[in-house]
Structure 1
Amino acid sequence: MSVYILVVDDEPDVETLFRQHFRRDLRAGRFLMEFAPSAPVALQRAVEIQDATLILILSDINMPGMSGLEMLPEVRARRPDVPVIMITAYGDPETRRKAIERGAVGLLTKPIDFALLRHEIDARLEQAA
């Protein structure tokens, strides 16, 4: 069984950054990372990933079209079993409140603390095992 993490961000360099930080995990097959360039694509993939275990969605907040905050209630309705962590450059209390109210389990600010994110991923992997 494959374990997936879905990363949603419209910035193309985010995929490179995540693949660099988690290259050992990806090479070892601990989990797979899939990247969606927009909220609508992420919603579609979240529903399509049925033959594997989707353990976490990491989503940027500020994206063109549908924002991460707009996507959040939709993805929670379609996949209530999958935790969502929002990522933003603006970690102000109002943004945090909105994210939590709409169903996020957490909020990471940019630049991302990859040690903290790794801890979060490890916890999700343990729960999935």
Structure 2
Amino acid sequence: MSVYILVVDDEPDVESLFRQQFRRDLRAGRFQMEFAPSAPVALERAAELGEPSLILILSDINMPGMSGLEMLPRVRAERPEVPVIMITAYGDAETRRKAIERGAEGLLTKPIDFAQLRQEIDMRLEQAA
């Protein structure tokens, strides 16, 4: 079974950063990563990736057009079984509260702690197995 992690961020260098951090996992086929440059594209991909293959969505909060916080309730309504972790440069209490209230499983602050993220992904892989 192929499992997917969907990363939503409007910054083009994010994809290469994630691919570099998880290159061994991706090469070994533990999971696949898809990248969406905007919230609308992410909603489309989340709908297309059938169950149970989509195991996690990682989304930036600040994006042009629809923000990650605006996308969050929509993706939770369409794919309630898929956990969403928000990523932000501003890890203040108000941002965290809004993200959790709208259905986020958690909030990571930039620069991303990839060791922490790896633990989160490993947990999701175990649950999907």
Same fold (TM over 0.5): yes
Q: List 4+ stretches of structure 1 deviating above 4 A.
A: none
SS of 2:42's equivalent in the other structure is helix
Q: How does 1:1-129 map to 2 (within 5 A)?
A: 1-50=1-50, 53-129=53-129
Cα contact 1:58–1:84 (8 A) shared by 2: yes
Q: How far did residue 52 of structure 1 move?
A: 5.5
Cα contact 2:96–2:107 (8 A) shared by 1: yes
Matching residue's letter, 1:34: E
Matching residue's letter, 2:50: Q
Matching residue's letter, 1:42: A
> Quick one: distance in 2 between partners of 1:2 and 1:25?
12
Cα contact 1:2–1:52 (8 A) shared by 2: no
When the two structures are superposed, what TM-score results if normalisation uses the length of structure 1? 0.99
Identify unmatched segments of 5+ residues in structure 1.
none
> Quick one: distance in 2 between partners of 1:50 and 1:72?
18
CA RMSD of aligned residues (A): 0.8
Deviations 1:78-112 (A, max 9, x none): 00010000000000000000000000000000000
Q: Work out the number of aligned pairs and report it.
A: 129
